[in-house]
Amino acid sequence: MDRYAQNFWSTYEAAAAKRIKGHTMTIGIAAICNNHRTIIFAADRLGISKRYLKQDAGCKIIAGSRFVMLGAGNADDNANIIDRIINKHNSLEDLGEECALEIRALLRKKKRNVFNKTGFDFDWFTDRMENAKFSLVKNILLGNLRATVFQPVLTEMAQVTANIHIIIGGISGNCAKIGYAEEPGIIEWCNRKRPFHAVGIAAERAAESLIIHKHSADDDVATALFNVYASKRESEATLGVGHETDMAILDIDNQGATFVNDDVVSVLSDEYERTHLATVDYKKIKTALEGAKT
């Protein structure tokens, strides 16, 4: 790439990064396959966010002894939560519930830090607001305090986000299962109709790709591996998604996850480019245009 092109893309990426600040500039994907016996994971190692934003928002696959987790959002908060709980439970459902509780606690902590600017106690205030068991006079006084002292801070608190989106994959009973935890601290589980989930700024694009490829929980591992890789590649068109790809496989017959090595990823890349990036015959298009004029 020549200097002009480098300068152009640097300027474009920097401007676009500012426009979409607040979004999680990364991609993480998980999909069930092999008759609900296997889960395929894919993530970019790091998008452009580290270059242009203060927050490192890359997506990383973290494998525990029984479960696999990947998170999009604030990288430090993600890593802290995942490292703390990934090997803490034997039950996937218990792990999901604790993940949701951790996000709830983080969100409350961030709001508390904002509220501390008022000089009042956060727990006191929230208790009074939620359980206003006062006389009419005291309620009027509290209402005046809220309108004058607290309102600017309350407005700022309403904009506080935990910026955490975590996918959890593991074996529950005799089936592979995927859950996702996010604000305000809830856990949802994928079902047979949609046996996959994606997080990050390109999540919708990745999900659409898997739908277009007709991904199913009944697909064999090779088919699902390619479909997930293809959805990751197609999500790279979204600014902020990194071009490096990490993949992992969690299988019901194996203990823990197996990371897909670079040789396999290279084969996936070759097949993707062969099937999706075929050379366009511009001469044929030109001939058709000339024929349309006559």
pLDDT band at 211 (very low <50, low <70, confident <90, very high): very high
Report if residue 289 sits inside a domain.
no
pLDDT band at 53 (very low <50, low <70, confident <90, very high): very low
Domain shared by 223 and 103, yes or no: yes
64-84 pLDDT tens trace: 878 999 888 777 788 888 889
Domain shared by 55 and 125, yes or no: no
Residue owning tokens 């990751």:
232
Mean pLDDT taken over the chain? 80
Residue 2 has pLDDT above 60, yes or no: no
Residue with the larger pLDDT of the pair 276 and 106: 106
Domain shared by 30 and 83, yes or no: yes
Lowest mean pLDDT among 37-51, 155-169, 247-261: 37-51
pLDDT of residue 129: 61
Give the predicted TM-score (pTM) of the model.
0.78
Domain shared by 193 and 95, yes or no: yes
**In 3D, which of 163, 164, 167 has the Cα closest to residue 257?**
167
Report if residue 226 sits inside a domain.
yes
Domain shared by 167 and 182, yes or no: yes
Report if residue 284 sits inside a domain.
no
281-290 pLDDT tens trace: 888 888 888 8
158-202 pLDDT tens trace: 788 888 889 999 988 889 999 999 888 899 999 888 899 999 888
Report if residue 270 sits inside a domain.
no
258-270 pLDDT tens trace: 899 999 999 999 9
Q: Percentage of the chain surpassing pLDDT 90?
A: 38
The neighbouring-strand residues paired with 175 are 172
Report if residue 50 sits inside a domain.
yes
Domain shared by 69 and 124, yes or no: no
Domain shared by 251 and 151, yes or no: no
pLDDT of residue 50: 35
Sign of the C-alpha dihedral, residues 29, 34, 35, 39?
Answer: negative
Domain shared by 121 and 248, yes or no: no
pLDDT of residue 39: 96
- The enclosing domain of 45 has a CATH number of 3.60.20.10
Neighbours of 141 (CB within 10 A): 12
pLDDT of residue 267: 95
The tokens for 218 are 């009944």
CB of 279 within 8 A of CB of 69? no
133-155 pLDDT tens trace: 555 445 555 566 655 666 777 77
Number of domains observed in the structure of the chain: 2
The tokens for 294 are 């006559």
Domain shared by 190 and 212, yes or no: yes
> Could you give the C-alpha distances from 65 to 68, 69, 70, 85, 244, in angstroms and in order?
8, 11, 14, 12, 25
Burial class (CB in 10 A: 0-12, 13-18, 19+), 179: buried
The tokens for 164 are 């955490």
Instruction: Report DSSP state, residue 216.
Output: -
Residue 46 has pLDDT above 90, yes or no: no
The parent domain of residue 120 ranges over: 116-158
Domain shared by 68 and 126, yes or no: no
Domain shared by 60 and 100, yes or no: yes
Report if residue 42 sits inside a domain.
yes
Domain shared by 75 and 200, yes or no: yes
